[in-house]
Amino acid sequence: MKHRIEISSRVITLGALALAACTPEAAPFPAAAGPRVETYLYRGPAGSSRVTKSLAVDGAESLQGTTDLVGRARLSERASVNARGRLQHAEIAIAGERGVSVRFTLDPKRATVQIERAGAEPITWRVPGDAPWLYSSPAGGALAVTPVAAWIALRAARASDVVRVLEPELQRSHLVTIDQIAVPTELGTTIALGHGADVDERFITELRDGEGDAAMRRVPGTDPDA
């Protein structure tokens, strides 16, 4: 039976209370033998997603994803992660039936997040750059967990003992120990964002819903080299 991890909405917040500072970075992510491009497809009751991951020789990655959520919205993401697993840049656009309603631009180098909402003045939110960044959403938020967001969380958890979780919709962030983000299982790793996401040795395999079932699952036969 597949191992399930129950994700509480309070886990991340509680984990931040015991933290004072970030620890040194870990070693770089294993380098690839050469430049490589991989594409992954996901389908399920919640919708569908397509992700393209480009892996550089030194282990740095760029990701581009489009996720369609049934009855909700479309999320478009572009992100880059360096060889040590730190997020370098990310752009997330959330579009409803009438077009893009909000866009978040994460720039850890400048320690800023630019927030652009339809019909409103842009907001510049300053966020500490003291630990690798990852992004999540409050319960019921529009910024749903996607394969791209879950992979960024895994890379961040491999980069340091402490990560900074951003909730751009609320302009809130906090430090969290990695044992509350990445949980080893017998099949790989569970990422504790949203209701949970599973990862194997290659990439995200499944995003789950509130009942613990697969909201979206990687489509068999679409993996690179499958």
pLDDT in tens, 146-158: 999 999 999 999 9
Global pTM value: 0.82
pLDDT tens, residue by residue, 57-72? 999 999 999 999 998 8
| Residue where the block lists tokens 């120990």 | 177
Task: Give dist(CA 211, CA 213) in Å, integer.
Answer: 6
Residues in contact with 79: Cβ distance below 8 Å, sequence separation at least 6, in sequence order: 62, 63, 64, 87, 89, 90, 91, 148, 152
Whether the CB-CB separation of 124 and 117 falls below 8 Å is answered with no
What whole-number distance in Å separates Cα of residue 62 and Cα of residue 196? 23
- Indicate whether 6 belongs to any domain: no
Lowest mean pLDDT among 28-32, 168-172, 204-208: 28-32
Q: Is residue 25 part of a domain?
A: yes
Q: pLDDT digits over 124-135, tens only?
A: 999 999 999 999
- How do residues 86-103 score in pLDDT, each as one tens digit? 999 999 999 987 777 999
In a domain, 155, yes or no: yes
Residue 97 included in any domain: yes
In a domain, 224, yes or no: no
C-alpha–C-alpha distance, residues 23 and 21, integer Å: 7
Residue 66 inside a domain? The answer is yes
Count: domains in the chain: 1
Separation of alpha carbons 137 and 171, rounded Å: 10
Q: Take residue 126 and report the two structure tokens written for it.
A: 């300053």
Determine, yes or no, domain membership for 2. no
* Residue 181 placed within a domain: yes
Give residue 206's pLDDT. 96
Q: Could you tell me the residue range of the domain that residue 23 belongs to?
A: 11-218
